[in-house]
Structure formats: structure tokens, C-alpha cells
Structure 1
Amino acid sequence: MLPHQRQWARIEFRELFAGNHGCAFEDLFDRLMELCHPGYVAVRTHGNIGDLGCDGLGLHDRTLYACYAPETVDVREIRRKFRSDLLSAVTQRPEHFENFTFVHNDPRGGVHPVVSGLLVEAQRDYPNLKFHELNPRKLWNRAVRLDEVGMALLLGVPEIPVQEVVYGVGLREIQPLLDHLREERKRLSGALSVAPPPATKLAYNALNDDYVDAITAGLKLSHVIDDYYARVADLTEHDEVAAGFNAHYQQVRAEHPGDPDAVMWEMEVYVLGNRRPLRELQVAADAVLAHFFERCDIFDRPPAEWQPGQPHGWV
């Protein structure tokens, strides 16, 4: 796919997976896995035997998938669902799998702290099995490998637009994001001094093509954020929000060492908050992220002597 097609597909994917829960989410997951992995078999409940703790099986890699995609998080239900599926699987179909993968719909790219603990406990209790989790970010990383026909089938559209789609984004669309940033910003003393990034910054930070496309497109709208801040009465607000961006970036980078794509995903969540990422809002988020990326409030500036092909800043 062309860069603008991949960008369009990413936004559609986010909106589709954010708006479906329960069985609808499982159907989307089945569709994705069947397109990406020929050895995947979707499992449906049957009579009084249920699904034997399994929502899908990977025949080639002997992986069992258990999905949990609620509209609201209930810690007790998470525990019940995880333990119930795992116990049912190891009791009723132990010869069918070596990997147990918990699939969930948390858009923040990680798992609820309770789930992380359950995964650790399960690995301890069943040392002969391997445990994994799949979140929407990892699902997109699989989907992005599809060709145009496969992506259209996944998204349920006739075709992926060939012509570049231009979304009108102005101050009205940016405003809710900036309101959210003002709530989240970390107030630091003094003003920040930042400069535009060198042309090699994207390469130095080893972001995948998906995020390179998003930042490149977002830079075209960076002037909208400049226009916004030119109109606010508080002259320090821009630097305060930038400080919040930088502080949050440093925190999530420490949580995801060596994984720039996970960090960028977390920064998107920081911008969008808990809002469902509708198409126009996602484009606006890309513009905000590109703006602070350009200012070097997030991600690293390469050394002056660095050249593409040399070790990047996340090694």
C-alpha cells in the first residue's frame, strides 16, 4: 500500500476496533487472523461443551487464543474470565496448544495490572506453556502486512482509496485535544528552549513506516497548533504543555525501553485520553504529536555527526 493508503487504513482500523466489544470484537479478531495466518481456526461454542476455553487456535504454531473485550473494565470479571479459560483449556484440550495468548481491547497498548499479574502467575503454575498477550497495537502490526485486497476485506470496505484523502482539521478539531493536554500537563519551572528537528530525526528514532507517515502528514497541520497558541492569553501555556509532553514521554520511554513504536502509541493515548479515536480526531492527534515531535519535546535529536545506516538512538 502507498503511505497515504496505510495512514487511511490505520485510522479506519482504530475506529473499527475501538467501537466493537464482546462477540463483535471476536469476529473482527477472527477475520484478521484468518487473513494474516492461514493456519488459524476460529472456534465457536457448541451445545453444553462451550468452546473448551478457546476462541481460536493457531495450528502451525500451536497457539490457543482467548479473547476478552468488554465495554467497561471489571477487575473481578477479568480474573474470572482469564482463569476460567485457562483452566478449561489445560483440562479439556492440553494436547492442542503450547502457547496461551490473551487477546484484549485495551487501546493503551498494555494490559490491566491485574492481567499482567495473572500472566506471571500462569507462567509459574504452567511452566511447560508460554503465555502472551495481544493488544490493539500488536493487532495493527499484523494487519499492516496485508495487501490492499486483504486490508479492504478486514475493514469491510470495497477498496482502499487510491487518491490521497485530505481531512479538514482546524482549531475547532484541535481544541478538545488541547483541553485534555492542559488537564494532563506537568507544570515545570522555567521555559523550555527547543529547536526544529533535523531531517534525520525520524530515521534516528527508528519509528515504523506507519508512524513516519502519521508524523509527516501531521507536520502539514502543525501551523494549526501555532495559530491556537498565538491566540491564547497565557504566553507560558505552550511551554507548559510541552513540558507535560516531555515528562510523559520520559516516563513511557522508561516503561518501554528499546520500543519506539510502543512509546509513540502511548503518546497518542496521552493526546486522545479515553476518547474514541474517530477519524477527524485521530488526524488532529497526529498533528499535535507531529508538532511536539518537530519541537523536539518528544523523541531524540540525532547527534550532528549521525548518518542514516548507523546505529539508531534505540539500540
Structure 2
Amino acid sequence: MEIPVLPTANWLDWYRSRHQQECTRSGTLFESYVEKVLARFHDDFVNPAPTGRFGDGGCDGLAEAGTIAYACYGQRPGRDAERELAKKIGKDFARALDQWPSFHTWRFVTNAPIGPRASAVIIDLQQAHGPASPRPLTIRRFDTDKLWLDIVAGLGATVLDELFPGAPGIANIELADLIPLLDSLGTASATVSSVHPVLPVPASKMDFNALPEASRAEFNYGRRLATRIDRWYEDASDPGLYDAHGDRFRALYSEARAVTSNPAEILERLYVAIAGPNVRMDGTRANAAFSVVSYFFDSCHIFEMPAVTATASEAEVSDALAH
């Protein structure tokens, strides 16, 4: 089953910055961007093409079986923006009201500043079409922030990457199905008791693999979230997910080990494999990556075990399971 990669942290900020860039465009360029976004947000979105004397019927899009009507206006430079915006709102609404009897929600999307005159027009329309009116309507204005929060931000990584290709850290993730775990570790949550204790690790393992001090510090920090990782695997719908990830970590480690013998570089390759090339751009995501990699280090899936202590460790585990 394909598990979606969700945009979080610096990725979502990057998408928002690209959205803001699109919203600085004027006229039809902004309106075309909004149409593209709405076509991905509503699976039945349609923008009526202007025809003859009817034009587009004062409508820049219909959705949800015609129950939502959109009007869109991209600011034109060098004009009296406030006066023109107020006039545009009133004109588009009146035409849509006359031409489209099916909608009960009307949304006006614009990148122009919405000042007191334009706001007054919207308020007048809301009062004229309140619950007690002959045709009650929900009338909302959408500035660029509301367009992002209510629509664009919820589109999901696949669609966002179609709209704004090239997000840092999205491509080339080897273990994409670990992204939900990384996201869960990045949220505030109380520490839970361990469900499956991590296999004991000989004290000499980090020495044996010559891990640098910085990597040891990252691991020691990451181990504080080990019980939360236990619980995540315990709650996973696939009981074989932990073993599958363990096998993949072994393969990724072997691939990295074939390229370099530097333990710090090997670890960096593992961090990138689960959290993307710019893992260190976001401290929360980086700490989650440290936690997951240290978890599989401690469970003996990656890096070598000292030969003698490995046998002793296995004996301790066998004895513990026997009792």
C-alpha cells in the first residue's frame, strides 16, 4: 500500500512561499493560478467559458454540484484598487445571483487589498442574504492568506508538488512510509511506557564503530523518544512493519558502507534516506530522524556488533525471554 508523504515543517513553509509568489501576480495571471488550485481542490470544479452575450455569467467557477460559486479578481496595477474591487464584488455577485440559482455559497477570491469600501459591499450582501431572506446565502471573501489556509495547504504533497515542483527534501526519500512516524515524533506528546523493549546494546558498540562525539550526542538525544517509537510500531496496522523497516535499514546501511567507511557520513546518508536531503533545515525533523536511526542502531539492525559482546547480548535476551 502506498503511504502518502505529507508536507510538514520547512516543506510546507516552502510551498507557502511559492503560493505567496503566485499571489503577487496581477490580473489574469493570478486568476489562472486560482483556477488551477480550485480545479485540484474540487473534483467537479468547472469554470464556464464566456459565450456570446452571456459571458461567463459572472462566475469564475462552480463546484460541489453547483452549490458553491466562485468569483475571482486579480489586482490590476495603476488603478484605484479599492474602488474597482468594491465595484467588481457587487457586479460579479449580481450577475451570478441572476444566472446561477443552484449555489448557496459564494466566494470572492482576490489578491487586492480589501479595504473599508469593499468590506462594506460584502457586509451589505451578507445582510441582504441572511437566514431570513428569500435566498439565504453564505458569502465569504478569500484573501491570499485564507486561500492558503482553507484550500491550498490541504491539497497534499503530491498535488502541491505538481503546482510547485522542486520542494526541498521531498524527492529521493528511501523510506517514505516512515514519514508519518517522523511527523508523530515532531508533535508534543507525553512519554509512553515501552511496549517492546529495545534489544540491549553493548556499551562498546559506539566505540567499536568509532562514532564521532556529535553523532553520539544525536543518538543520546534520540533515545529519549524510543518508547514512543515502540508504541507507534505497536499501533501500526501492519504487524510486519517493524521487521520490514529493519531489513531496509540493514540494506541502506550496507549500501552506504560500500561507498564510505566514515561512520558520520554513513549516518548522514541514513538521515537523508528517511527525511530527505535537507533534513537539517528543520530541527524538529532532524531530531525525529536521530531518534529513528538511533532506535535501529540500538536494535542491532545497523552497524557492526563487537563479536564477543554480541554473543553475551544475545544470551541475555534469550534468558530474558525464557523468564
Instruction: With the length of structure 1 as denominator, give the TM-score of the two structures.
Output: 0.46
Instruction: With the length of structure 2 as denominator, give the TM-score of the two structures.
Output: 0.45
- The structure showing larger relative contact order (alpha-carbon pairs under 8 Å, at least 6 residues apart) is 1
